[in-house]
Amino acid sequence: MSKIPFANMFIQRAMGLSLEGDDLIVTIIHKRFIRYSHETVYIKDFVSKDPLQLELVFSSLKKFQGEIILSWPREYAIVREIQYPHSNLKEFKEALGYQLDSFIPFSNEDVYFDVHFDSHSLSQSRQDTKVFIVAVKKVELDPILSKLRTLEVTPARVIISPFAFLPVFRECEGLIALVHKNTENYSLNLYANNHLVSSSIIQTEAELINRIKVNPPDEIGFVNIDNGRSFPEMSHISSRTLDDNSESHGAALYGLSDYSCDLSLIKSQKRRLNPQITLMCFLVGALIFFAFLIPYIQKVNNTAALKTVNTQIQSIKKDVFAMEKLRERIGILDEAVNKINEIKIKHTPRIDAILELAKVLPYDAWIKAITFEKNSFEIEGDAVSSTNLIPILENSPIFSGVGLTSPVTKTQNGREKFRIRVNIKNS
| 351-375: pLDDT as tens digits | 888 888 888 899 888 899 999 888 8
Judged against a pLDDT cut of 70, whether residue 345 lies above it is answered with no
pLDDT at residue 226, as a whole number? 67
Total Cβ atoms within 10 A of residue 23: 15
Instruction: Decide which of 383 and 285 is more confident.
Output: 383
Q: Is 316 part of any domain?
A: yes
Q: Where does the pLDDT of residue 91 fall: very low under 50, low under 70, confident under 90, or very high at 90 and above?
A: confident
Taking the model in full, what pTM does it have?
A: 0.61
pLDDT at residue 269, as a whole number? 46
For 187-198, the three-class secondary structure string (H helix, E strand, C coil) is EEEEEECCCEEE
Q: Where does the pLDDT of residue 172 fall: very low under 50, low under 70, confident under 90, or very high at 90 and above?
A: confident
Judged against a pLDDT cut of 70, whether residue 212 lies above it is answered with yes
Tell me what the mean pLDDT of segment 58-84 comes to.
90
Mark whether 354 and 411 lie in a shared domain. Answer: yes
What single-letter amino acid sits at 144?
Answer: I
Judged against a pLDDT cut of 80, whether residue 2 lies above it is answered with no
Report how far Cα 87 is from the mean position of its chain's Cα atoms.
18
Contact in structure between 130 and 89 (CB atoms under 8 Å): no
The count of domains in the chain is 2
What digits encode the pLDDT tens for the residues 249-299?
999 998 887 776 788 898 754 444 455 556 677 778 778 877 777 777 777
Q: What is the CATH number of the domain that holds 414?
A: 3.30.1360.100
What digits encode the pLDDT tens for the residues 331-340?
888 888 887 7
Contact in structure between 31 and 11 (CB atoms under 8 Å): yes
Mark whether 362 and 389 lie in a shared domain. Answer: yes
Mark whether 378 and 417 lie in a shared domain. Answer: yes
Boundary-marking domain end, from 279, 313, 345 = 345
- Which range of residues forms the domain containing residue 365? 350-424
Q: Is 402 part of any domain?
A: yes
Tell me what the mean pLDDT of segment 205-228 comes to.
85
Q: Is 154 part of any domain?
A: no
